């Protein structure tokens, strides 16, 4: 029987109407349905706030509010076969929060955060079962979802997951996304990691398709954050999707397509409440006769932190030390450029001053200098990186609009062209260039 993997993220787990739509998508799924879920909308953010900021409410009171949120959206939980498991999970959450408050630990933190997915798995199984679709919660720790690493930036161990994966038969498995088991305990896959869980499961099961259900119609040629009427993309190659995802949150986890490349499994991104809309299909490369820019991504308002190195300092050790220091402070580095005698990191503008202070306090590192804010633009399309005409056209469009565009000549990609613009010119650059490249809807 053909296996079809369906992933439902937090944006599709916001209201009772969303639950009803999920039930119908699974009811009408072809072949055997396998479901992967994120936590309900807003739950993970609330868990992080409770863990990191010690909110005024007690952990038990906080857990009671989490319980109420799930029951409000899926009342069937309290009469489902998993009502006791639901209560036990809530008790476990309180215990994990208490343990972390007494002795902060990355493994306990991951365990507490994973409770959002566990509760979601129980709730969706209860909703499906109550509507005549036999279902079963299938938690990562019991199904064999194996990760490498610790904390919140682990990665899928594809070989071990395929070797160990075991899901319930005779019912629709509701697999928890985002987290998995390592040799040390629990770990997380980072922002959007449930996408990666879904594609890793699909590869391990040799599924026919993966569908990620969303609250928008497919993938747009420009992130909705810019409020411009961008074209909807009917298809993307694995490579285009992976590159675009790096510059267009929250489109897709950047590594989500990787498990699908070798088996060639198609990935669909479709709107939950409009099942007749095809959305966007992601699959193997289809090289066009004439390379074309198909999408533009952007990482806005970044600040360069750079420093010079004396001959006594090791470039590798310096970069490694800086990255681990910033990682512990949970400061994300968007770009690294290291060359003999010089290092440059790009940090979000709101984190730049803090990053400089933290790095300046390291005796092993020179004091970094802050540069002028900039934004990175990423032009995406198979073959465009080797086409001088496209680069020349982009440069010409920028000059016509008096945009100070600078290409990143040290990053040559077949499928993408990277460039920077001053942060103050970002929105004007995006509007002008997307118009010139015919990426906006008519």
Contact 19, 74 (CB under 8 A): yes
As a whole number, mean pLDDT of residues 337-352 equals: 87
Cα 364 to chain centroid distance, Å, stands at 33
Cα 187 to chain centroid distance, Å, stands at 15
137 within some domain: yes
Cα 295 to chain centroid distance, Å, stands at 18
Contacts of 309 (CB under 8 A, 6+ apart): 315, 318, 340, 341, 342, 343, 366
User: Is it the case that residue 409 has pLDDT exceeding 90?
Assistant: no
Q: Higher model confidence: residue 397 or residue 363? A: 397
What is the rounded distance in angstroms from the CA atom of residue 136 to the CA atom of residue 126?
8
150 within some domain: yes
Which of 185, 61, 38 is closest to 115 using CA atoms? Answer: 38
pLDDT band at 56 (very low <50, low <70, confident <90, very high): low
Share of the chain above pLDDT 90, in %: 74
235 within some domain: no
Domain coverage including residue 30: 3-215
Which two three-digit tokens encode residue 140? 């990562």
* Token pair 């999707």: residue: 241
* Mean pLDDT, the chain, integer: 92
Q: Is the peptide bond before 250 cis (omega within 30 degrees of 0)?
A: yes
146 within some domain: yes
Beta bridge partners of 254: none
**Could you tell me whether strands 235-237 and 280-283 are parallel, antiparallel, or unpaired per DSSP bridges?**
parallel
Q: What is the pLDDT of residue 411?
A: 64
Which of 213, 219, 212, 217 is closest to 272 using CA atoms? Answer: 213
Considering only CA atoms, give the Rg of the chain: 23
What is the rounded distance in angstroms from the CA atom of residue 307 to the CA atom of residue 231?
41
User: Is it the case that residue 425 has pLDDT exceeding 90?
Assistant: yes
pLDDT band at 366 (very low <50, low <70, confident <90, very high): confident
User: Is it the case that residue 158 has pLDDT exceeding 80?
Assistant: yes
Contacts of 377 (CB under 8 A, 6+ apart): 247, 296, 297, 298, 405, 418, 419, 420, 421, 429, 430, 433
As a whole number, mean pLDDT of residues 178-206 equals: 94
414 within some domain: no
> What is the CATH number for 43?
3.40.1160.10
User: Is it the case that residue 439 has pLDDT exceeding 60?
Assistant: yes
Q: What is the pLDDT of residue 315?
A: 75
Q: What is the pLDDT of residues 209-257, one digit of tens each?
A: 999 999 888 899 998 888 899 999 999 999 999 999 989 876 788 899 9
* Token pair 């409020």: residue: 227
Question: At CA 48, angle to CA 46 and CA 52, rounded to 5?
Answer: 125
118 within some domain: yes
For residue 37, report the phi and psi dihedrals to the nearest 5 degrees.
Answer: -125, 150
As a whole number, mean pLDDT of residues 18-41 equals: 96
User: Is it the case that residue 33 has pLDDT exceeding 80?
Assistant: yes
Contacts of 136 (CB under 8 A, 6+ apart): 125, 168, 171, 172, 173, 174
Is the Cα dihedral 415, 420, 425, 427 positive or negative?
A: positive
16 within some domain: yes
379 within some domain: no
Cα-based torsion angle of the residue sequence 221, 226, 230, 234 in order, rounded to the nearest 10 degrees:
40
Which of 347, 245, 259 is closest to 295 using CA atoms? Answer: 245
Contact 280, 232 (CB under 8 A): yes
What pTM was estimated for this model as a whole? 0.91
Number of domains making up the chain: 1
**Could you tell me whether strands 267-271 and 209-214 are parallel, antiparallel, or unpaired per DSSP bridges?**
parallel
What is the rounded distance in angstroms from the CA atom of residue 192 to the CA atom of residue 189?
8
Contact 119, 40 (CB under 8 A): yes
Q: What is the pLDDT of residue 312?
A: 52
């Amino acid at each position: 029987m053909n296996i079809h993997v369906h992933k439902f993220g937090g944006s599709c787990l916001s209201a009772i109407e969303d639950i009803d739509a999920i039930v119908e998508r699974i009811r009408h799924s072809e072949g055997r349905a396998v479901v992967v879920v994120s936590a309900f909308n807003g739950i993970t953010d609330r868990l992080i706030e409770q863990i990191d900021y010690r909110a005024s409410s007690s952990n038990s009171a906080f857990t009671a509010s989490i319980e109420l949120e799930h029951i409000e959206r899926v009342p069937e939980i309290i009469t489902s076969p998993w009502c006791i498991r639901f209560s036990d999970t809530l008790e476990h959450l309180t215990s994990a929060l208490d343990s972390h408050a007494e002795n902060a630990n990355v493994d306990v933190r991951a365990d507490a955060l994973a409770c959002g997915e566990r509760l979601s798995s129980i709730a969706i199984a209860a909703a499906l079962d109550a509507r005549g679709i036999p279902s079963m919660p299938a938690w990562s720790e019991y199904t064999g979802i194996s990760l490498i690493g610790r904390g919140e930036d682990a990665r899928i161990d594809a070989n071990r997951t395929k070797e160990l994966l075991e899901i319930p038969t005779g019912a629709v498995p509701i697999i928890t996304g985002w987290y998995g088991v390592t040799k040390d305990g629990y770990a997380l896959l980072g922002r959007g990691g449930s996408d990666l869980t879904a594609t890793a499961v699909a590869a391990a099961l040799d599924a026919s398709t993966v569908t990620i259900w969303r609250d928008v119609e497919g993938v747009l040629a420009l992130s909705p954050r810019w409020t411009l009427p961008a074209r909807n993309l009917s298809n993307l190659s694995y490579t285009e999707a992976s590159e675009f995802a790096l510059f267009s949150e929250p489109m897709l986890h950047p590594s989500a397509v990787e498990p699908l490349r070798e088996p060639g499994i198609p990935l669909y991104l479709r709107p939950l409440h409009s099942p007749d809309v095809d959305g966007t299909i992601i699959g193997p490369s289809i090289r066009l006769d004439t390379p074309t820019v198909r999408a533009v991504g952007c990482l806005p308002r970044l600040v360069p932190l750079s420093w010079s190195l004396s001959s006594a300092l090791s470039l590798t050790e310096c970069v490694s030390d800086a990255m681990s220091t910033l990682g512990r402070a949970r400061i994300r580095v968007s770009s690294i450029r290291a060359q003999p005698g010089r290092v440059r990191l790009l940090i979000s503008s709101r984190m730049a001053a803090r990053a400089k202070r933290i790095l300046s306090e390291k005796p092993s590192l020179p004091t970094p200098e802050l540069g002028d804010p900039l934004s990175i633009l990423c032009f995406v399309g198979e073959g465009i990186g080797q086409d001088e005409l496209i680069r020349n056209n982009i440069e010409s469009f920028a000059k016509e609009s008096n945009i100070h565009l600078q290409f990143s000549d040290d990053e040559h990609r077949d499928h993408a062209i990277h460039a920077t613009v001053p942060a103050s010119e970002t929105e004007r650059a995006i509007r002008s260039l997307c118009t010139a490249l015919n990426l906006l809807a008519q």
